[in-house]
Structure formats: structure tokens, C-alpha cells
Chain A
Amino acid sequence: MKLIEIHNAGFAYGENEIFRKIDLSLEQGTLCCLMGPNGCGKSTLLDCIIGVLHLREGKILVDGRDVLSYKPQLLAQKIAYVPQVHDRSFPYTVKQIVLMGRTASAGLFGSPGKDAEDLVTNALRTVGIAHLSARSYTQISGGEMQLVMLARALVQQTPIIIMDEPTAHLDFRNEMVFMETVVNMIKEHNIAVLMATHSPNQPFYFENKGLDVNVAAIKDGGIYCHGVPSQVLTETSINEIYQIKSKRLTHEDSHNGQLYQIVPIKTCER
């Protein structure tokens, strides 16, 4: 079932065109990695899908309905969002932050009731930070913060989660923790994830874990290539997208099967 369908999408900030004629769709239980150089419009496209920005042309259907026809509360029951980096404000507890994910499911004034507390506890356990529940969220690390954001998206209980470079600020281990959690979430809850990322090795990892994953790379305002990571992300395409000379290595592992890795060598002329 197609949860998100993007038809002929175009966007511009004033005269400055960001992308045009983009077609993309996201199926239930699958993961789509959105790639492309800085400033290519990944975040802008994601912002259009969550209804923060409006397309200049084309349309976006969420669960069969135009995204612009949704009220915020209903859209928040379809799509949850994990930001690249959360700008912390007041020293709320971690639990309070995750509880905010229940706003869309609560009544008129959005205040979640007692039943939401169990969901929060479960979500914190799922992402492995139950011990942080009562901590002030201004005092936890960046890696833990992203897991809090993931837990908050989880309690929204949406069929779709959109993530904007969620691992950009995480250390080596926390990046793995985050990705493992995403894999488990997709497998257990059969949700669809659309995720902007800069690392070509992330789609390879997800493919290796047996997810139904595909890559869409944006270049020069349009989709440059779209498909299964092992077929689409080659030395040639990496050169085309990022102007980088690279080597694609294959790691054979008796437990985990084949795992591809792109090793960057040097930049080349545009």
C-alpha cells in the first residue's frame, strides 16, 4: 500500500528553484533513503511532506489524500517527524518530552491522559533509554537526544516516520544504536520510514539487515537515480552525485551475509 505519493513536485524559494518534477512513493513496511549533496533540497522536500512548506507545483498524497487538506492534528496521526537536531529549550524531563508525542491523539486541548504514560514507558524501553526517563533532557548527550526524538515519534503511533539526517551528529556507536532501533521498529511495527541521509553506507546496512529498502538520490533539482542500494549506489553514481572518486568494497560475513561499503578516495572536478 502506498502511504506517500509525490507527483511532479516542484519547489522554489522566490526565484531560486530548488527541485522540479520529482516523483517518489513510499510503501508500507519499507524504508526509503533520500540522498544528495548539501543544498539539493532533501530537507525542503521533507518539509513539504510534513506540511510545513508548500509545493509550488505538483502534489503530495499522504495515505491517498492531499497533504494540504489535512488539519495538523490528523496529519500528525499519519506522519511523525525526527529532526536532524533538536533545539533544546526548558529543562523538561525525558518522559515529558516523549509524552508530547501523544498530543495529536489526545482531546481538544491536547493534554495526554494517564493511558499515555504506559506508551511512553514502552517507547523508552524500545529505544533502550528507559533509565533516562526522569532525567532533565537538557543534560543528556546528543546521541541520547536522538533516541528521545525517536521514542517521541514512536508514541505518535503513526504509519509513517520521516527523519531528516537523524544520525548527523551522533558518534560511531550511537549511529549503530539508532539504526538498529530503526530496523527493529520497521520489522515489528510494519511502518514506513523516509529518511534523508548523507552516508551511502547506511542504505547498504539496511539492505543487509533484510529490509525492503530503496535509495532516491537528488541531483541538480531532480531524481538522479532510484532503486535498491546495491544496484544504484555504485562507484560511477557516487562520482556523479558527489563528485568523489571512491571504491566499493564487499565484506563477506558468515553471520550477516554480504555487506557493501563505499570508501571515499578523493574529490574530483565538477
Chain B
Amino acid sequence: MIPMKIRTIIFLCLLPLCVMVISIFVGRFSISVSDVANSLLKLCGFQSSFVSIESFTVVSQLRIPRIIASAFVGAALAASGAAFQGIFRNPLASPSLLGVSSGAGFGAALAIILFHTYWPTYIFAFAFGIIAVLSSYVIARIYNTVPTIMLILGGMIVSSIFSALISLLKYVADVERELPAIVYWMMGSLSSVGYKSLWALLPISCGLLILQLYSWHINVLSMGDKEAHTMGVNVKRSKSLIISGATLATAGAVCLSGVIGWVGLVIPHIGRMLAGNDNRKLLPFSMSIGAAFMTIIDTLSRIIVESEIPLGILTSLIGAPFFIFLLKKTRGGGWQ
């Protein structure tokens, strides 16, 4: 008999892995199951001459990096959302609370207008996502301490500034090429992801590691700053570290996929219904479910219609009914 804990870990790893493997076999460009399998074997270094160059390229250069990216994006958004909900004691908090999304959106729009090529958008989106959160933090520090409400206000101010700047860029953008690119980026897409953009997995992994290490502190911080302090948590330091972790992960995700709402807000709640509220358990559940969910969504966006459907649209349309189903099934998971 395998103990409960190890079984849970195996399940949490297998769930996204299975979804990812299945996703490799489906796509707009039809490739037979055996061709995909042969491509995978070839990729692993086995000699396999039965696969066409075309099929091999689609599997190895397009599908695999994209599927890896989608899983990491989902995990990053879901875990950051759970962490933010915890430390801000607010079940409605999402990873974009401190302005990372609008900052990244501005960075991407700026890069699209300035360079007309794809790769600088990743770097600009990532950098401005981080800058936005740092600005929120600096604004909150005007009062020397960093009270929660000031942080949220700081986030709102920074978000609105960057939203205004995005509108400005849209206004001056070239209507033929730049404007559609900006709008499309804001709705979220993984269509341009290749191996070159997978450097973003590094900040995502670092962020997720920090969050998991501090998951117990997230629990204690959700008791409020004062009580967390009396239980021995260095509130300022732990909060900064958790915000940094969530920001690294979210900025990495947003620069890969553009702005995707809903996942960071609702996947943590699905996690809460299944795993309870202890963040030591909730974070791995959120990562696993987020990764699987995002991979499914991205695969659907690849296959449903000829031109890809933006991810931001699909996450809500498909996620919402699932959420309502779970809400009914678990009787709200202890809220009310």
C-alpha cells in the first residue's frame, strides 16, 4: 500500500503529464498517431526513419515547446493567484492585483510598436511586469510600513497608469499591422512560442519554488499581519519574498502567453475545494490543475477553428461551467 501523501504527489504529477502527452497527438495539421510516436522516439535519440521531415518539425518545433509553455503558464498563474489570495486575505485577489499584467501588456505593446519582431516582446513584457509590481510596492511604502490596503491601492494606481499608456500606444499604433498584434496579445495566445522563448520557464520555476517553500507562511499571513507577527513570522520579509515569487512566476507566464484572466482567480478556488486551504497542499494542487487546464485550453484553441481562438476567451467559456459544477458538487467548500 502506497501512503496517501506519495499517492497524491504521483497523481499531481501524472495529471498534467497525461494531458500534455495527449495534446502532442492532436492539432490542426493532421499527423498520424504512429508518426507522432516516431517523432517522439526520434527526438529521444532513437533512429527512426519512418517519419516525414514535415511531421517531425511540427511535433518537435511547434507542438512540444508550446505544450510545455502552456503547462508552465497555467501552473504559474494558478499558484500565484492562490498565494496572493492568501497574503491579501482576499478570495478575489488574482495575480494581476499589483499591476503585473498591465505592466507586461504595456511592455509588449511598446515592443510591438518599436521593433516589429516577436522576440523583444517577451523581454519587454517581462521587464515591465516586474517594474509595475516594484512601483506598486514603492507607492505602498510611502507610509514606511507596507499595509495590505496600501499595496492594493498602489496596485490599482499602477494598473490604471499602465492601462492608460496601453490605450495611448493603441491610439498611435499602425492600424494595419501593430494594432491587431497588440489587441491579439492582450487576449492571450501561445501561438508564437518556440524553444527560444522558453527561457521564461526559469523565472517561473524560481517563483514557484519560492512560493512552495513559503507556503506555510502564506497560511499564517492569512491570519492578518498582527497575528502572523505574534506567531513568529517576519511579516515584512515573508510578504516581500512571496510577492517576489508570485511576480517572477506571473511575469514569466504573461510574457509567454499574453494576458490570460480567470485562471489565476478561479483555479485556486477549484484547488481549495479539492485540497482544502492549507497552502502547503493547495499550491501543488493549483499548479497541477492549472497546468492541465491551460494545456487543454491551448490545445482546444489550436484545433477548434481554422484561425486560433484567443486563450482569454476560452478560459472563461470553458472554465466557468466546470467551476459551477464543482461548486455544486462540493457545496462551496466551507464558504458561506
Interaction A to B: yes
B63 beta carbon closer than 8 Å to chain A: no
Indicate with 1 or 0, residue by residue over B6-36, a CB within 8 angstroms of chain A CB atoms: 0000000000000000000000000000000
B174 on the A face (CB < 8 A)? no
Report Cα–Cα, A51/B233, bound state, in Å. 12
Known: A52-B226, A83-B227, A100-B220. A109 touches B214 (CB 8 A): yes
Interface size class of A (residues with CB under 8 A): 35 or more
Closest to A73 in B: B232
Interface residues of A in 56-112 (CB under 8 A from B): 71-77, 79-81, 83, 86-87, 89-93, 96-97, 100-101, 103-106, 109-112
Q: A136 within 8 Å of B by Cβ?
A: yes
State whether the Cβ of A156 lies closer than 8 Å to any Cβ in chain B: yes
Q: Is A246 an interface residue (CB 8 A)?
A: no
Measured CB to CB, the closest approach of chain A to B336, in angstroms, equals 8
- Is A104 a contact partner of B214 (Cβ separation < 8 A)? no
- Assess whether A139 is interfacial by the CB under 8 Å rule: yes
In the complex, what distance in Å separates the CA atom of A138 from the CA atom of B333? Answer: 11
CA distance in complex: A155, B91 (Å): 28
Interface centre among A83, A91, A96 (most CB of B within 10 A): A91
Q: With A52-B226, A90-B272, A139-B334 in contact, is A96–B232 under 8 Å at CB?
A: no
Complex: how many Å from CA A138 to CA B223? Answer: 12
**Cβ contact within 8 Å between A91 and B334:** yes
Chain A contacts of B272 at CB under 8 A? 90-91
The answer on a CB contact under 8 Å between A100 and B334 is no
Q: Footprint of B on A, CB under 8 Å?
A: 47, 50-52, 71-77, 79-81, 83, 86-87, 89-93, 96-97, 100-101, 103-106, 109-112, 136, 138-139, 152, 156
Distance in angstroms from A269 CB to nearest chain B CB is: 37
Chain B residues close to A by CB (< 8 Å): 85-86, 89, 91, 213-217, 219-220, 222-224, 226-227, 229-235, 272, 276-278, 280, 333-336
Which of B216, B227, B336 has a CB less than 8 Å from the CB of A86?
Answer: B227
CB distance from A98 to the nearest CB of B (A): 11
Interface core residue of A72, A77, A86 (most chain B CB under 10 Å): A72
A-B contact pairs, 17 of them (CB 8 A): A72-B232, A72-B233, A72-B234, A73-B232, A75-B232, A77-B232, A89-B224, A92-B277, A96-B277, A100-B231, A103-B217, A103-B220, A109-B214, A110-B216, A111-B280, A138-B334, A156-B231
Residue of A nearest to B85 (CB): A90
B-side contacts of A91, CB under 8 Å: 272, 277, 333-335
In the complex, the answer to whether A101 meets B277 with C-beta atoms within 8 Å is: no
Query: Is A83 a contact partner of B226 (Cβ separation < 8 A)?
Result: yes
Q: Which of B219, B226, B336 contacts A100 (CB 8 A)?
A: B219
Q: Judge whether B233 and A103 touch: CB under 8 Å.
A: yes
Instruction: Give complex CA distance A104, B232 in Å.
Output: 5
